[in-house]
A and B are shown apart, each in its own frame.
Chain A
């Protein structure tokens, strides 16, 4: 009985046309049940706003709220930790609002920041520690770098980093300038919670390839043989993109 009751209640929360789960005792039942629907929607919109602050600012309260509520009804959270909720929201936004074209990329960048912010903590592998690991091993062929848990590598069709920064700073003039620039070529970013806090590093194509290979578990020797970019590796380590070096 309780299970059926809870399924009915969930249907009521998720589907606007669904009836309340049971006939209540007091008059004005619809208003009372609506408190729960309002709380559910408000909490979901709040959670998605926390994860997608740039998108929220770009769209404004009402359009963002409507998109978030529709997403919640179709894809309610699958786990209790709402910080992990909303990965598919960027895709939902792209389908629901194909224009402006940069909107979905802005959502992807927001989500990368949210994932980086809530990722587990880990130490940063320093250049000195890596040099020591290389110095003390005869054979470095199997040395791999473990990516920091917060690292997210992104290739965006539209350069939205400056736009997001302007939106979060509530700098409308800068946001308009950034929107004018989003027709330019895309950008490649490493988003992480690194040695300088929350960071989005712009990467050259070769640096992104190197970072992708290293984060994917390709051995350091092999990755550098293909992309012999010592400066990029120094940049990665300076910002804490990797947490340890280990032999596989």
Chain B
């Protein structure tokens, strides 16, 4: 019996060790990330997450890749039901603001975040009194005209230079379309954010002095009238804004298929531009067109935000700390061909693995980012930006299709935004 003892002890120890091991493994914090990709953001994050998990065995990260629409429509409902992910990649921060977790107490060095990501942290905050850190921007985007240079060259029309107005661009693209028998001069993504850059350039202020909507002023009206006219006279491809009733629609396929000379979109399209068009034709990024209010595009982008419902706030913060560290963030931006939201990295030259056209495009996007109007930043960060954008798209589309007049559209945009604000504020 005594002789058996060491064996038994060994077995018991082994059993304990095995179960202990399981117990330790079971204690590993599970982090679920709901992610969508503009290009390859989710696969790139997965590579970084796997590397992070190797060094942090107590954390297990699962990245659920889903369509953008699902993030917009399902994640807020999941969060409201208390069943949401720990982190999600969102572009509409206002929609999830009440569920966001302030990471400040869990971050290694919140001061670094404030210094490195200061301006864009405001986008995730609920107002001027909110100083929380809720997440990490996965990119900084800037809207700009993407130009089919081959068509301009064929038409013998020079690409509008720095300082050219939207009217100049409209005239030039119409000439190119006519000369090259291209169906349309321009297309703008069906997006209120895309419309807002030109509207601000035209003088739109979007906020009253008190900082609340309504948003329709002379600058807004001026750009809306021009845009409707361009859609109706064929300068702009009407199909993008009119053929669908609701939501976002981009015009990338039209541009990639050479059906438009200029495409108003943004820096997030870089990966697609390289991959889908490649050397099919020569494309370049134009300077931000101007108007009475200046020359600006719209900033934007998506970010990983953490949520209050997480059971592992410390681990969530640790992973975001890892992604936010300068070398990892720089690598991430290079992997995804995105502009960095990190202020120090914006000053440095990142070693993007791009084609010569891609490198030139990235440089131009960066140059355009430097000219962004402060109002554009404020609008993007406003909790009411999405209701403003959505009302713009819905009502301007109706005006283009002739269902309502422009004046009726202005009235409806104002009342739609007021209605959304009232619903949001109702407790």
Q: Do A and B bind each other?
A: no
Q: Which residues of B contact A (CB under 8 A)?
A: none
Q: Which residues of A contact B (CB under 8 A)?
A: none
